[in-house]
Amino acid sequence: MTSGTFSLDGGSWEVDNNVWIVGTDTECVLIDAPHDAVPIIAAIGDRQLRAILLTHAHDDHVRVVPDILEACHGAQVALHPADRMLWDLTHPGLAPTRDLHDGDIVSVGDVDLHVIHTPGHSPGACCFHAPELGVVFSGDTLFAGGPGATGRSYSDFDTIIASIRDRLFELPDHTVVHTGHGESTTIGAERPHLDEWIARGH
């Protein structure tokens, strides 16, 4: 976990972000790059960083990408192209090196991460499902207790509900949901509450 700020639409908020690393003793991928590169680089250690996989491009998820690239040469930066306008707000002089698309598979060691495009929190939001591990990395699409926020620019409540219902809730109940903020949960624990979320509107 790293701590810092999320800024958009002229506002700024203090946030704690989860950082996820998936791999082996020799290679890994990083899921999101928030706030502070030092502990992230330390956690990667002497492994080869194959890619930085971005769940979306809000600044609190991409802030230290350049610092990590400087320390871990050769890593790809992978982002869904629908979030490029958000990326450019933070890193206008740096382009991602790989476009993520629904159905892509990113392999590291013996783990395949399946890309699931889940727009709503942002247009290019993606989750990464690792069937071999029984986990999905949900970014800010699904949290313990409800969907990600949709009150800022480029977000939409009906769209995030459709993404959760039609894509994430198709995963097995036992699937552990590792989120972008806060505690992990499971698909089975969250699925029964969908109608409550729709009724409350957030």
Q: Extract the tokens encoding 10.
A: 């002229």
Cα angle 50-170-159, degrees, rounded to a multiple of 5: 85
CB contact at 8 A, 164 and 150: no
- pLDDT for 105 equals 98
Q: Which stretches of the chain drop beneath a pLDDT of 50?
A: none
Percent of residues, the chain, with pLDDT higher than 90: 99
- pLDDT for 113 equals 98
- pLDDT for 52 equals 98
Residue 151: burial class (beta carbons within 10 Å; 0-12, 13-18, 19+): exposed
Residue 20: burial class (beta carbons within 10 Å; 0-12, 13-18, 19+): middle
Residue type, 126: C
- pLDDT for 41 equals 98
Q: Extract the tokens encoding 198.
A: 């729709």
- pLDDT for 202 equals 75
